[in-house]
Amino acid sequence: LNRRAFLAATAAATFMFSAVSHAQYKDEYTVSTVLPSAFPWGQAADKWVELVKERSEGRINMKIYSNSQLVSGDQTKEFSAMRSGLIDMAVGSTINWSPQVPELNLFSLPFLMPDYAAIDAITQGEAGEAVFAAIKKRGVTPLAWGENGFRELSNSKLMIDEPSDLDGLKIRVVGSPLFQDTFTALGANPTQMSWADAKPALTTGAVDGQENPLSVFDVARIDQVGQKYLTRWHYMADPLVFAISNRVWDQFSAEDQALLQQAAIDAGQWEIEKSRSEVEGILAAIKERGVEVTELTPEQREAFKKATQAVYDKWSSRIGEDLIKQAQDAVANR
Ligand code: X2X
């Protein structure tokens, strides 16, 4: 090998090596969330970013954009934006991504999951794997689970403890049409709107009620906009999913992929434990502020479950009958 050929070969090798090992990492990756740091959801994202920065010794930097600002407040567009590469990463609710990933409606089926063990049995088992495969197939790599929480019902008019109490009540619901069906089955008058529009609509009385986890009710001070009655019916809980656009994922080295995923798993576990441990304290604080809270008895809960059975009939083929069966078995055997 003459000197010239040697230099050319080393230059080529150096170029190739750097092209592979640094695969054009961005200086900063965007992370989308709906709720900011005051909420467990935002804290889950904060934790992920912090762990990745620490474990990569500052090589991988992520910046959180909360309040769905990267999709102009429309949280139902977050998944598409990630798929197309407009957003690199997100910690998102299964509800908001369900328009693009129908399987995610599984978690919104009314009264499928009676308690935390039921959520875990689904997410940590075969059904959870099938849901992750469905997300991956649609252009986004899911890394770990977090939790928004059991969604409880509040309203400004009356104490709700049976389905007929919902008669004609205007309820703000989230981005999946499944919620329209659930509340229509209960005789209510549901209106779909983004989180950004929800509080103003409650303030003006454009809607009478809403459903969200207690942590959201508490931090967003939903009691201050006339929501005096709260029904703890645990009708569904939305897990959060830590995820990354497939295009971005493929640019990371295998080592860094593992780092990103382990950090997401650790952040998710931390957030799930933290938010579950805070629920009773939050409930006490809400009561202290004068909100009337009803805890449904098993019999009362059963009446709501019966009244919403039609949602299963309508949605099972869209979600997948096998997936629903897997989830129901997981719950039964928890
Ligand atoms: O919009 C909502 O209700 C919220 C914040 O809980 C979600 O994004 C699912």
212 lines ligand 1 (CB under 6 A): yes
- CA 213 to chain centroid: 11
Domain assignment of residue 271, yes or no: yes
Domain assignment of residue 10, yes or no: no
> Reduced to 3 states, what is the DSSP secondary structure of residue 64?
strand
Domain assignment of residue 14, yes or no: no
152 lines ligand 1 (CB under 6 A): no
Taking CA atoms only, the protein residue closest to ligand 1 atom 5 is 195
147 lines ligand 1 (CB under 6 A): no
Please tell me the predicted confidence (pLDDT) of residue 176. Answer: 87
* CB distance 148 to 75 below 8 Å: no
- The whole-angstrom separation of Cα 270 and Cα 268 is 5
Query: What torsion do the CA atoms of 117, 119, 123, 127 make, to the nearest 10 degrees?
Result: 100
Strand partners, 211: 153
Other CB atoms within 10 Å distance of the CB of residue 102: 18
pLDDT per residue of the chain (334 residues) written in tens, 0 to 9: 555 655 555 555 555 554 445 568 999 999 999 999 999 999 999 999 999 999 999 999 999 999 999 999 999 999 999 999 899 999 999 999 999 999 999 999 999 999 999 999 999 999 999 999 999 999 999 999 999 999 999 999 999 999 999 999 999 999 889 999 999 999 999 999 999 999 999 999 999 999 999 999 999 999 999 999 999 999 999 999 999 999 999 999 999 999 999 999 999 999 999 999 999 999 999 999 999 999 999 999 999 999 999 999 999 999 999 999 999 999 999 9
Residue with tokens 């998102």: 92
- The whole-angstrom separation of Cα 280 and Cα 75 is 28
Taking CA atoms only, the protein residue closest to ligand 1 atom 6 is 212
Residue 237 in tokens: 């809980």
Q: Which of the listed residues 32, 66, 75 should we mutate to test ligand 1's pocket, taking the one with most ligand atoms within 8 A of CB?
A: 75
95 lines ligand 1 (CB under 6 A): yes
Domain assignment of residue 278, yes or no: yes
Other CB atoms within 10 Å distance of the CB of residue 95: 25
Please tell me the predicted confidence (pLDDT) of residue 19. Answer: 47
Domain assignment of residue 187, yes or no: yes
* Of residues 73, 71, 128, 69, the one with CA closest to residue 103: 128
Please tell me the predicted confidence (pLDDT) of residue 15. Answer: 52
Taking CA atoms only, the protein residue closest to ligand 1 atom 8 is 34
Other CB atoms within 10 Å distance of the CB of residue 184: 15
> In terms of residue numbers, what domain contains 267?
26-332
Amino acid at 173: V
Domain count, the chain: 1
What's 223's DSSP letter? G
Question: Got the DSSP string for 105-171?
Answer: GGGGSTTS--SHHHHHHHHTSHHHHHHHHHHHHTTEEEEEEEEEEEEEEEESS----SGGGGTT-EE
Distant-in-sequence, close-in-space partners of 216: CB < 8 Å, separation ≥ 6: 35, 39, 148, 149, 222
Please tell me the predicted confidence (pLDDT) of residue 24. Answer: 87
* CA of residue 266 to ligand 1 center, whole Å: 23
* CA of residue 215 to ligand 1 center, whole Å: 11
Domain assignment of residue 17, yes or no: no
Domain assignment of residue 2, yes or no: no
* CA of residue 212 to ligand 1 center, whole Å: 7
Domain assignment of residue 266, yes or no: yes
Q: Which helix (H) or strand (E) holds 83?
A: helix 78-83
96 lines ligand 1 (CB under 6 A): yes
* CA of residue 85 to ligand 1 center, whole Å: 23
> pLDDT for 73-114, tens place per residue?
999 999 999 999 899 999 999 999 999 999 999 999 999 999
- The whole-angstrom separation of Cα 105 and Cα 236 is 11
CATH number of the domain to which 237 belongs:
3.40.190.170
148 lines ligand 1 (CB under 6 A): yes
* CB distance 230 to 292 below 8 Å: yes
Strand partners, 238: 149
